[in-house]
Amino acid sequence: MKFADNLKRLCKLKNTTPTRLCRELELSTSKVSAWYNGALPKEKVMFQLAEKLNCSVADFFADDNEMAEATNDDEHDILRIYRALSRKEKHEFMALAYRFEECESN
């Protein structure tokens, strides 16, 4: 997926838009058009966007294959929810998942 597609997807998860996000960060909203045309934000801006969206910069470059790996609705929902979590929440989520995995193997 392109940067702009992932940004749009991540914004949707947070009930916002790229344009609204630019306004909140006091960036020119014309940046959104540039991103949709293939431009990438500067590193500092990427970190600001990631912080606002509670995601990592790597999430802006997620591949379609990562989403395709979710073979059913439950897996897709789990992946969507996980990606919307803060780093601390992701750690807590994974700790819980590992506890489930331990219970399953016992």
**DSSP assignments along 2-26, one per residue:** -HHHHHHHHHHHTT--HHHHHHHTT
pLDDT in tens, 4-63: 999 999 999 899 999 999 999 999 999 999 999 999 999 999 999 999 998 888 888 877
pLDDT at 78: 82
8 A C-beta contact, residue 57 and residue 15: no
8 A C-beta contact, residue 53 and residue 21: yes
pLDDT at 70: 45
8 A C-beta contact, residue 76 and residue 65: no
Q: Two tokens at 72?
A: 């059913």
pLDDT in tens, 61-70: 877 555 545 4
- Its pTM stands at 0.61
